[in-house]
Amino acid sequence: MEKKDLRCRSCGSKRLETVLDLGRMPLADALLTEEELDLPEAAYPLEAALCADCSLLQITETVPPEVLFCRKYPYYSSFSDELLRHSRENALELIASRGLNAKSLAVEIASNDGYLLKNFVEKEIPCLGIDPAEGPAEAAEKIGVPTICAFFTAEFANELAEMGKRADVIIANNVLAHVADVRGFLAGIRTLLREDGVASIEAPYVRDLIDNCEFDTIYHEHLCYFSATSADRLLRNNGLYLNSVKRIPIHGGSLRLYVGKKDEPDGAVRALLGEERDRGIDGMNYYNEFAAKVGSIKSGLTHMLSMLREQGCRIAAYGAAAKGATLINYAGLGKDLIDFVVDRNTHKQGRFMPGARIPISGPERLLLEQPDYCLILAWNFAEEIMNQQEEYRARGGKFILPIPEWKIA
Ligand SMILES: [Zn+2]
């Protein structure tokens, strides 16, 4: 059904068709303090729609960045070992393939606490991080990663260019899908990138989202869900080109897009575009069963947890991340089913999950209280979490993975 007033974030078309409607949801990153438990919480519609013209899957609501941002609890990338390993490989590959040296410049947009750029610093390659979050930006400076605390926009890129800055490599991981003004963002990349430079951009892959039913990666902060097809169209419309591409396992399945100013697609791009065409990823048919599958995950999970509860089991959950908030709120998992959530991020401990208002503690609580089951909300880091919690399992604790269908691990 065509929606009035709404326009595609990529191509401006009005032909947006609903793929999944999760109803009104609280902001997934807006963890609550104890004092805030007495106050009402804002909720916003959360609906994913497909553009019939450029095939970009996107959410229809844009929560103002200042609301999203001021409610966001600081995320420090360095809390995840797997992300650190992944970033190091990303950096070393770019350094080798582009032959970067002391005269080069690597810029990272959304550089967080410098977890990726520190690999460039180690190799004495000049770099610059850009991140709007003060805490993480300060942490980056402390470990020797030059960082500017700002939002990356077309205007900001112009300022950098006027200062004579041009990048051989621009890295933008998990940020393109989060910006409301994607066209301005890409114009900024185009300005900052040298003629022969490359931008390495990572974003969750819509094919993994749909095929593995990863509906909990849909939340207000995460505006777009790319395929190679929709990314290729968006880039072309903004004077940039998808020249190589890789499927990578991080965050439940992502794409790494290698983007340049010249139109020189390699075999990997042609092959992936071909695969997507064969699967019909740019048409509504590909998305038709998704909503029904999400509904059955919800009912299966709540049924299973209710049964365990009736048997007198104690249940905890692991991972106070945005996707965890989406899952528990959409599935209606409250304090009646889940006793507490644990998370390694010390900034989140002592807070409460938005919506469901379940308290968040440090992971040590799993051993202190030894609940019978632990639902892994951060399933993208399931292996890492289960390895860290060997002792909990050795003592008889069991993990539950929610997606693509719940199973006990
Ligand atoms: Zn579009």
SS3 per-residue string spanning 164-198: CCCEEEEEEECCHHHCCCHHHHHHHHHHHEEEEEE
Ligand 1 centre distance from Cα of residue 291 (Å): 21
Positive or negative, the Cα torsion across 365, 370, 371, 374?
positive
* Straight-line distance from the first to the last Cα atom of the chain, in angstroms, rounded to the nearest whole number: 41
Q: How many CB atoms lie within 10 A of CB 217?
A: 22
Q: Are 99 and 118 in contact (CB under 8 A)?
A: no
Question: Exposure pattern of 119-139 as b/e (b: 16+ CB <10 Å)?
Answer: bbbeeebbbbbbbebebbbeb
Ligand 1 centre distance from Cα of residue 301 (Å): 34
User: 353: which 2 tokens?
Assistant: 């999950």
Helix (H) or strand (E) holding 294: helix 290-310
Ligand 1 centre distance from Cα of residue 335 (Å): 40
Ligand 1 centre distance from Cα of residue 10 (Å): 5
Ligand 1 centre distance from Cα of residue 306 (Å): 42
| Per-residue pLDDT in tens (0 to 9) along the chain, 409 residues | 445 579 999 999 999 999 999 999 999 988 999 999 999 999 999 999 999 999 999 999 999 877 877 656 566 777 778 889 999 999 999 999 999 999 999 999 999 999 999 999 999 999 999 998 888 899 999 999 999 999 999 999 999 999 999 999 999 999 999 999 999 999 999 999 999 999 999 999 999 999 999 999 999 999 999 999 999 999 999 999 999 999 999 988 999 999 999 999 999 999 999 999 999 999 999 999 999 999 999 999 999 999 999 999 999 999 998 999 999 999 999 999 999 999 998 889 999 999 999 999 999 999 999 999 999 999 988 999 999 999 999 999 999 999 988 999 8
Q: DSSP letters along 73-128, please?
A: PP--GGG-HHHHHHHHHHHHHHHHHTT--TT--EEEES-TTSTTTHHHHHTT--EE
Ligand 1 centre distance from Cα of residue 51 (Å): 5
Quote the CA–CA distance of 227 and 212 in Å, as a whole number: 15
Compute the C-alpha angle 226/227/231, nearest 5°.
70
Ligand 1 centre distance from Cα of residue 171 (Å): 24
Ligand 1 centre distance from Cα of residue 284 (Å): 13
Q: Are 129 and 156 in contact (CB under 8 A)?
A: no
Ligand 1 centre distance from Cα of residue 182 (Å): 12
Rg for the chain, CA atoms, rounded: 21
- Chain length of the chain: 409
Ligand 1 centre distance from Cα of residue 92 (Å): 35
Cβ-based neighbours of 249, under 8 Å, separated by 6 or more: none
Ligand 1 centre distance from Cα of residue 65 (Å): 22
Quote the CA–CA distance of 383 and 387 in Å, as a whole number: 6
Quote the CA–CA distance of 36 and 357 in Å, as a whole number: 10
Ligand 1 centre distance from Cα of residue 1 (Å): 15
Ligand 1 centre distance from Cα of residue 105 (Å): 33
Cβ-based neighbours of 11, under 8 Å, separated by 6 or more: 51, 53, 54, 56, 233, 234, 237
Ligand 1 centre distance from Cα of residue 311 (Å): 50
Q: Which residues lie near ion ligand 1 (Cβ < 5 Å)?
A: 8, 10-11, 13, 51, 53-54
Q: Hey, which residues does 45 pair with through a beta bridge?
A: 24
Ligand 1 centre distance from Cα of residue 258 (Å): 21
DSSP 67: H
Beta sheet of 57-59, edge-to-edge order: 16-26, 43-51, 57-59, 224-225
Ligand 1 centre distance from Cα of residue 43 (Å): 26
Ligand 1 centre distance from Cα of residue 374 (Å): 40
